[in-house]
Amino acid sequence: MWNYILVSCMVLLVSLFYHCYFKKPISIIDYAEQTYDYIIIGAGTSGCVIASRLSERSNVTVLLVEAGGYFGWWSAIPLAAPLLQGSEVDWNYKTESQLYSSRGLQDRKQSLPRGKGLGGSGQMNYLVHSFGKPEDYKNWPKGWSHADLAPYFSRVSDSMKATLTSTEEYLVKAFAAAESTLGSANVTLQRAASTFSNGVRWSTYHAYLQKAWNRRNLHISMETLATKIETKDSRATGVELMFKNGSRGRIGVNRDVILCAGAFNTPQLLLISGIGPAEELEKHQIAVVKNITEVGKNLFDHFNVPIFANLIAPVSITLKKMQSFRQLFNYIVLGTGLWATNAVMGLARDNDSGVILFGMGSTDENLLRKLANIHTETYRSMFPSYNDSAYEGFLYLASCLKPKSRGTVKLRSRDIRDSPIIDPAYLQHPYDVSCTHRAIKLALRILATRVFRKFGASVHVPDFQECRDLRQDYRDPRYAECVMRMGGLTSHHPGGTCRLGMDPESVVDEYLRVKGIEGLRVIDASIMPAPISGTPNSVVISMAERASDLIKN
């Protein structure tokens, strides 16, 4: 057995060495040309798709600009996603102090990890695959309905290797069996689908960019920051860049500049380039190129309330199990076991209220408390497993799938290197509170089913000092609201800040062109008109696929 392990490790090291030193993609460049047909800003989830699809035509030239570099080997491990947060591959954004939520967090600020490097946030997310439900798209513009996107959903499911969670997991079996017990037409429970292959993360970096990065008509400039979109006579003419050594340059464009920088960085770059609300631009002494009032507005995000469930039966993922020789062997040698999962086991929905079953009990307090920017007292009150690596339990993440609260992204300064001012306004709208409470009650109903009682499942009720004057019961709406406003956390699903639409106030039209500026498009989560009832990553990939067809045609 030890010989087998040794040989496997040697093969791994040799392949890594060969990849690093002998297989450098020809698309990775040190110096860009003076002009390109297309310049894509951001090599994240959508940018990798657009770069791959547009460069399929050998008669066009494509430049992909990325502020970061490569992600480390940790990014390949699905369950290691939190280890990348707060590192050099994270933009490390935080919200402004929240008025209606985050009372148990440091300075009432949420941490907003965003991937910085090839693959973007798709290299550090939890890989959950979802397209929501058809009704989510009913008010989307012509060409972007559920029926219009359905062929792309099918294509993306294949290219991203979407697979359902194994039914061999005890908690998955229990979750699936609970649906018949609940007896409600509005309630659906299903196994989670995720995008990883043979225990390894599978993002658009793997599925799209790596297939394209040896094409001579595609250039990739890493550790290069786009500082401004240049325009003349209401047309995008090029991009101003800052390179790794601090020098600046200008690259011209023949056809389109395509922004794929995400829900925070895309509106920031538009504003710095003089495209956005005139009053915001004038405040920072930026010349107004085009007054588009909705740039940076309409920010939405799902907001999770972690509900901890205690277990007696040893059926969850714990730190102690993960650290065992058997699990390490299974992953390193066979690509299986706990490390080869993302711990997301099931999804439940009751109309617009949703629950995710995250099957991990014990957590690393020092790591997760810091990453979530949460007070020690808040963390320990919510997670009874904080000091026990063998603690059996799991989380229900309860949220409103179609929140009505809307926030903003604004400029901190006219310097692109200064992080934008991000205010999601979590729980500002009263509907989000009642909708989230319905999600919590759904979690409790599932937990009370016979299959979960068989595992000795029971809900943990946090003992927040701020909530002690209330009846300590999640079914009590006042107590549930208190917990929401104390310990609710971002789902990392921001979008909407450069809204797609046919109305005069929208930022991009049905062809994803920025209104009033020729040769400038936006293709990322910022264009989503409204939240979907699920995780948005695969929807963004599908939109990028359709956008590629629109541009090529």
Query: What are the residue numbers of the active site?
Result: 493
28: which DSSP letter? B
Residues ≥6 apart with Cβ < 8 Å to 427 = 100, 101, 303, 405, 433, 436, 484, 485, 488
Contact (CB, 8 A) for 275 and 292: yes
For 68-94, the DSSP string reads: SBPPPGGGGSGGGGGGGTTSTTB--EE
493 three-state secondary structure: coil
374 three-state secondary structure: strand
Residues ≥6 apart with Cβ < 8 Å to 547 = 46, 50, 512, 521, 523
The residue to which tokens 């104390």 are assigned = 486
261 three-state secondary structure: coil
Which residue from 81, 74, 73 is spatially nearest to 125, judged by alpha carbons? 81
**Residue 360, phi then psi, degrees to nearest 5:** -110, 130
Which residue from 320, 459, 350, 394 is spatially nearest to 170, judged by alpha carbons? 394
381 three-state secondary structure: helix
CA–CA separation, 32 and 55 (whole Å): 16
* Residue 296 falls in which region: left (phi positive, over 0), alpha (psi -120 to 50) or beta: left
Contact (CB, 8 A) for 533 and 138: no
Q: Which residues of 134-167 are buried (b: 16+ CB within 10 A; e: fewer)?
A: eebbeebbeebebeebeebbeebbebbebbebee
Which residue from 471, 482, 466, 372 is spatially nearest to 433, judged by alpha carbons? 482
**What ranges in 323-468 are assigned the alpha helix state H?**
325-329, 365-371, 376-382, 430-447, 450-453
297: which DSSP letter? -
What the block records as the tokens of 395 is 């989380």
